[in-house]
Amino acid sequence: MIFNVLTIFPAMFPGPLGCSVTGTALLKDLWTLNVFDIRSYADKNHENAKASVDDRPYGGGPGMVLRADVLGRCVDDVLAAHPGTKLVYTSPRGAKFNQDIARQTIDFDNITLLCGRFEGIDERVVSYYNFSELSIGDYVLTGGELAAMVVIDSCVRLLPGVVGNAESLEYESMSGGLEYPHYTRPATWRSLSVPDVLLSGHHGEIEQWRREAAKEITKQRRPDLFRET
């Protein structure tokens, strides 16, 4: 699977994606990361461009907006090299990213993630290229790079061979709620003990305990998810 990232800060990548299982998978060529530096597409010869990737918004207002002409040249290059790539713009107004969308996303062999900055990007780029928009939550970041990393991490770990324990992915794919609590050694820590059932060796009882614990946690902390399960 190929991910193309369009950003004005290419040094941010691979960043944390180069660590742990995603980093190992990257070294094994289980997925590919291509980073396009938007700044390299600024027109240094245009008298009004001044080699800038952004400009003041029409109609006034605070901040700056990434220019359509600069972004257009960058996207055109991506499309020339990767025809048919799925175009995604990380934006706080986008559809909220979740596990279901992650599973749908890996159906595509090639994904292009455009990372916004400042006040955002010229709207004409979104409409001209028919970008999908994704948000990772109801808050504002300084740029779309961290959101792109979240999307990539969530998708890459679903690819075959990336996560060593396939059982973990199977559980996640079947569960619509939050996970059950986890415990490991020591059995007692600061007078707090691991639930007896987890030490019993009775796998059926352990599975039942985990299902009930997951259900209760989901009901308490994410009732919206509990209603869907």
Question: Domains in the chain, ordered, with CATH?
Answer: 2-157 (3.40.1280.10), 173-225 (1.10.1270.20)
Task: Give the containing element (helix H, strand E) for 167.
Answer: helix 166-174
- Give the span between the Cα atoms of 103 and 91, in whole angstroms: 20
Q: Which residues are annotated as a binding site for S-adenosyl-L-methionine?
A: 116, 136-141
β-pairing verdict for 132-135 and 86-96: parallel
Q: What are the pLDDT digits (tens) for 57-70?
A: 999 999 999 999 99
Q: Which residues are annotated as a binding site?
A: 116, 136-141
Q: What is the pTM of this model?
A: 0.89
Indicate if the alpha-carbon torsion angle 212, 216, 222, 226 is positive or negative: positive
Q: What are the pLDDT digits (tens) for 145-174?
A: 999 999 999 999 999 999 987 666 655 544
- Per-residue pLDDT of the chain in tens (229 residues, 90 and over written 9): 999 999 999 999 999 999 999 999 999 999 999 999 999 999 866 555 457 999 999 999 999 999 999 999 999 999 999 999 999 999 999 999 999 999 999 999 999 999 999 999 999 999 999 999 999 999 999 999 999 999 999 999 999 999 987 666 655 544 568 999 999 999 999 999 999 999 999 999 999 999 999 999 999 999 988 765 4
- Sequential DSSP letters for 177-211: SPPPP---S-SEETTEE--HHHHS--HHHHHHHHH
- Give the span between the Cα atoms of 143 and 125, in whole angstroms: 17
